Amino acid sequence: MCGAGAVLLSSLGSNSDLLKQDTKNLVEAKYYEKLPHRKIKCVLCPRECVIDDLETGYCGVRENYGGTYYTLVHSRPCSAHVDPIEKKPLFHFLPGTTAFSIATVGCNVLCKFCQNWEISQARPDQINNYDMPPEKIASYAKNNGCKSIAYTYTEPVIFYEYMYDCAVAGHRKNVKSVMISNGYIQAQPMRDLCKVLDAVKVDLKAYTKEFYKKLVAGRLQPVLDTLVLLKEEKMWTEIVYLVIPTMNDNPQELKRMCKWIVSELGPDVPIHFSRFYPVYRLKNLPPTPTKTLEMAYNIAQDAGIHYAYIGNVPGHDGESTFCPNCKKVVIRRIGYQIVENHVSQKGICFNCGSKIAGVW
Amino acid sequence: MVDERKIKRRKFLKSSFQAAGGFYLTGLPGCQAESNQNKAEEANQSKVVIAQNKLVRDKNKKLNGDQVGKLLDNAMENLLQFNHSSKAWQRLFNKNDVVGIKVNCLAGRGLSTNYELVQAIVEGLKSAGVAEKNIIIWDRANRDLEKAGYKIQTNRNRLKCYGNDQVGYSRKLYEFGEVGSSLSNILVRQCTTIINVPILKDHGICGVTNALKNYFGAIHNPNKYHDNLGDPFIADVNMLPEIRNKTRLTITDALTAQYEGGPPFMPQWTWQFNGLLVGFDPVALDTVAWDIIEKKRKEKGLPSLKQANREPTYIATAADSNHRLGCNDLNNIKIDEV
């Protein structure tokens, strides 16, 4: 059949042979339910995708093969770097240390302002990936002097199984694990994950349902639920709020959010107000003016939040940590660098002896 | 037996090609030809040809390539109102084209674009002067094509067959409405024109998948665009200029169709429609496809797609004033059955 002009045909194996080939090196996903007619329902994130045979979920990295759900990215990170922990940003978790930072492709939301959209919105076959099993990640982290492994850049919820296994492997080598997440995950998988994590940073992208619907393709409530769950689990948590001009910089919205944080999470949860830069599908907006970030910073302080920060404005005083008791600078930062540190290894302010919240 | 069939078909096409060449040179010269062509295309914009013939299958229900070719010839002749299919192909394509044949092989064996049809399209293109090396049979991924039985072929001097993963996606982000996507380099860089060759089938999320939905195989992030029954995302994808401007013809493979349980192949819900839907207007084609599936569902005692909470509303969106991709009113679609 394969002569010139004929459409090229290949011989075919049996269905079970093809299925075996497709799933040969794949790891079965956690948190899904089998449905009739080879469908499955994913219950890892609040989206709860119902997925037909040979289709992927919204995340693009979990695929149904014959009624069994697989992760396509276990041990296949597309990015691996050694970063300062401050870059995550986590300012109250082993400050001044480095994190071995990894990501796979994929994400379970679709932020129109995503800074890493080339990898977060891609699928595994579209990007070059490394072959890095969990033990290798733990070894790389240890050998590079990293105190932690960070699951970051894209959305680690979608590579849950890999993250979990890396965290277990890391702990065997005394390397901690931090998750840099949008918090868009269901309660049970998050609770299970808390057993192997040491800190979580959550992007709270706005405090309105409308923003989440229009600009994130997600919902606000599950993120708030995750934050409350992390508090219940006593997980060290910091929040990042990317301030986007005209989209989520309304002072009343910020006041409501800060009030909620103080009442539901407590005043010791740090919040980082980060500067937005026009990117991806929001190129029509300007970068966030510094005065807008300062406004948000002041609102947080007025609401009683102990540790408010301004991000992506190197050299700004808002990058530094102030003791909530004596009001003195206890950690002075410029960008990701720590230039002064007046906190003891037990988290005590050298000036007044007060406890500074965090993991030290 | 197979070779014999191929030879017969080639001989037929060879004579068609010669006759059509003569017509083109003497019948429609210069601007007059262009003007007539525009009129003809305008008149045919919302026309859908449904070509059916039980003879496309032999007694063992296997497809007969020669008969599939004849079915396509009939459809093309009717669509463009020529009495010879090669003239129709020549009206649409020429030797300068690099043609992508966008198939649909997601469901693997049983419900993918049939190679007998693709082969007939290739022969049609060749009759219009398109060199075999300038034809690319194309889908989302090499693995999809392979699972449907196609062989990956990348030799630059031959007929090509490969997936987007062979050549990657554009660095540029193409945007319209709710959609922002990188496009297959096959579409953006390699092809001057596309023949869209979808499958007629039910879709578990979007209701129906046919012409418009098939271009989810040309973007890098289709997984992001199934919310809200794919509406307006499917319409938005089809507004991207590279898709809208390069699509010259749609030929729906409805030789085997599926009215429930799609997009994967569910043999219990397929039927042998033994037909093709051919036209220029993707919205009209989808409207007709939806109608066919609804009728079959009713015949089988299944609820309508609306009752099943998956009415393909994206078809109406594609026809709205923001998109104007075609006609979704069955009363205004000229349906020719041949």
pLDDT tens digits, one per residue of B222-273: 999 999 999 999 999 999 999 999 999 999 999 999 999 999 999 999 999 9
A125: which DSSP letter? G
Question: Nearest C-alpha of chain B: how many angstroms from A51?
Answer: 9
Q: In which band, very low, low, confident or very high, does the pLDDT at A22 lie, cut at 50, 70 and 90?
A: confident
Q: Is B326 on the interface with A (CB under 8 A)?
A: no
A-chain CB neighbours of B175 within 8 Å are: 281
Q: Is B11 on the interface with A (CB under 8 A)?
A: no
Report CB contact under 8 Å: A110, B224: yes
When mean pLDDT is compared across A120-134, B30-44, B168-182, the lowest value belongs to B30-44
Q: Read off the pLDDT of each residue in A299-316 and give the average, rounded to a whole number.
A: 97
> Does A307 or B32 have the greater pLDDT score?
A307
> Does A97 or B11 have the greater pLDDT score?
A97
For residue A52, give the nearest of B115, B161, B263 by CB distance: B263
A-chain CB neighbours of B119 within 8 Å are: 5-7
B-chain CB neighbours of A7 within 8 Å are: 115, 118-119, 122, 137, 150, 159, 161
Report CB contact under 8 Å: B153, A8: yes
Reported ipTM:
0.89
Sheet with A199-203, side-by-side order of all strands: A79-84, A98-103, A148-151, A176-181, A199-203, A236-243, A271-275, A308-311
Report CB contact under 8 Å: B204, A39: yes
Is the pLDDT at B4 greater than 80, yes or no?
no
Residue of B nearest to A17 (CA): B147
Please state the three-class secondary structure of chain B as a single string. Answer: CHHHHHHHHHHHHHHHHHHHHHHHHHHCCHHHHHHHHHHHHHHCCCEEEEEECHHHECCCCCECHHHHHHHHHHHHHHHHCCCCHHHHHHHHCCCCCCEEEECCCCCCCCCCCCHHHHHHHHHHHHHCCCCHHHEEEEECCHHHHHHCCECCECCCCCCEEEEHHHHCECCCCEEECCEEECEEHHHHHHCCEEEECCEEEEECCCEEECCCHHHHHHECCHHHCCHHHHCCHHHHHHHCHHHHHHEEEEEEEEEEEECCCCCCCCHHHEECCCEEEEECCHHHHHHHHHHHHHHHHHHCCCCCCCCCCCCCCHHHHHHCCCCCCCCCCHHHCEEEEC
Residue of A nearest to B144 (CA): A54
Q: What integer pLDDT is reported at residue B57 of this predicted model?
A: 96
Q: What integer pLDDT is reported at residue B10 of this predicted model?
A: 41
Q: Tokens for A122?
A: 């891609």
Q: Read off the pLDDT of each residue in A240-262 and give the average, rounded to a whole number.
A: 98
Question: Nearest C-alpha of chain A: how many angstroms from B157?
Answer: 10
Cα A229 to Cα A235: distance, rounded to the nearest angstrom = 9
Cα A318 to Cα A314: distance, rounded to the nearest angstrom = 9
A312-342 residue pLDDT tens: 999 999 999 999 999 999 999 999 999 999 9
Residue of A nearest to B175 (CA): A281
Is the pLDDT at A253 greater than 90, yes or no?
yes
Q: Is A40 on the interface with B (CB under 8 A)?
A: no
Mean pLDDT of chain A: 94
Is the pLDDT at B319 greater than 60, yes or no?
yes
Q: In which band, very low, low, confident or very high, does the pLDDT at B45 lie, cut at 50, 70 and 90?
A: low
Is the pLDDT at B6 greater than 70, yes or no?
no
A-chain CB neighbours of B137 within 8 Å are: 7-8
Q: What integer pLDDT is reported at residue A287 of this predicted model?
A: 97
Q: Where are the alpha helices (DSSP H) in chain A?
A: 15-23, 117-120, 134-143, 160-172, 187-194, 209-211, 221-232, 251-260, 290-303
Report CB contact under 8 Å: A5, B123: yes
A84-119 residue pLDDT tens: 999 999 999 999 999 999 999 999 999 999 999 999
Cβ within 8 Å of residue B51, ≥6 positions away: B71, B72, B74, B75, B78, B275, B276, B278, B337, B338
Q: What percent of chain A clears pLDDT 90, i.e. is strictly above it?
A: 92
Report CB contact under 8 Å: A5, B122: yes
Q: In which band, very low, low, confident or very high, does the pLDDT at B41 lie, cut at 50, 70 and 90?
A: low
Q: What integer pLDDT is reported at residue A23 of this predicted model?
A: 77
Q: In which band, very low, low, confident or very high, does the pLDDT at B203 lie, cut at 50, 70 and 90?
A: very high
Is the pLDDT at B34 greater than 70, yes or no?
no
For residue B137, give the nearest of A7, A10, A18 by CB distance: A7
Report CB contact under 8 Å: B118, A7: yes
Is the pLDDT at B23 greater than 90, yes or no?
no
Q: What integer pLDDT is reported at residue A1 of this predicted model?
A: 38
Q: Is B263 on the interface with A (CB under 8 A)?
A: yes
Q: Is B266 on the interface with A (CB under 8 A)?
A: yes
Report CB contact under 8 Å: A121, B266: no
B-chain CB neighbours of A10 within 8 Å are: 146, 149-152
What is the CB neighbour count within 10 angstroms for residue A264?
12
Q: What integer pLDDT is reported at residue A294 of this predicted model?
A: 98
Q: In which band, very low, low, confident or very high, does the pLDDT at B38 lie, cut at 50, 70 and 90?
A: low
Question: Nearest C-alpha of chain A: how many angstroms from B198?
Answer: 17
> Does B17 or B160 have the greater pLDDT score?
B160
Structural domain total, chain B = 1
Cα A37 to Cα A320: distance, rounded to the nearest angstrom = 56
A340: which DSSP letter? E
Report CB contact under 8 Å: B220, A126: yes
Report CB contact under 8 Å: B151, A8: yes
Domain extent, residue B57, equals: 2-337
Mutate to test the interface with A, among B125, B164, B185, B221 (most CBs of A within 10 A): B221
Residue of B nearest to A12 (CA): B149
Contact indicator for A92, A236 with CB cutoff of 8 Å: yes
B-chain CB neighbours of A22 within 8 Å are: 143
Mutate to test the interface with B, among A7, A40, A212 (most CBs of B within 10 A): A7
**CB < 8 Å from A in window 71-110 of B:** 106-109
Q: Is A39 on the interface with B (CB under 8 A)?
A: yes
Q: In which band, very low, low, confident or very high, does the pLDDT at A25 lie, cut at 50, 70 and 90?
A: confident
B-chain CB neighbours of A217 within 8 Å are: 224, 227
**CB < 8 Å from A in window 163-222 of B:** 165, 168-169, 173, 175, 180, 204-205, 220-221
Pick the closest to residue A156 from A33, A74, A250 (CA basis). Answer: A74
Question: Nearest C-alpha of chain B: how many angstroms from A12?
Answer: 6
Report CB contact under 8 Å: A37, B261: yes
Is the pLDDT at B71 greater than 60, yes or no?
yes
Q: What integer pLDDT is reported at residue A153 of this predicted model?
A: 96
Q: What integer pLDDT is reported at residue A24 of this predicted model?
A: 75
Q: What integer pLDDT is reported at residue A11 of this predicted model?
A: 60
**CB < 8 Å from B in window 298-317 of A:** none
B-chain CB neighbours of A59 within 8 Å are: 223
Q: What integer pLDDT is reported at residue A12 of this predicted model?
A: 57
B84-128 residue pLDDT tens: 999 999 999 999 999 999 999 999 889 999 999 999 999 999 999
Q: Read off the pLDDT of each residue in B174-191 and give the average, rounded to a whole number.
A: 97
Is the pLDDT at A190 greater than 90, yes or no?
yes
Q: What integer pLDDT is reported at residue A13 of this predicted model?
A: 58
Q: In which band, very low, low, confident or very high, does the pLDDT at A18 lie, cut at 50, 70 and 90?
A: low
Size of interface A-B (CB pairs under 8 A): 98
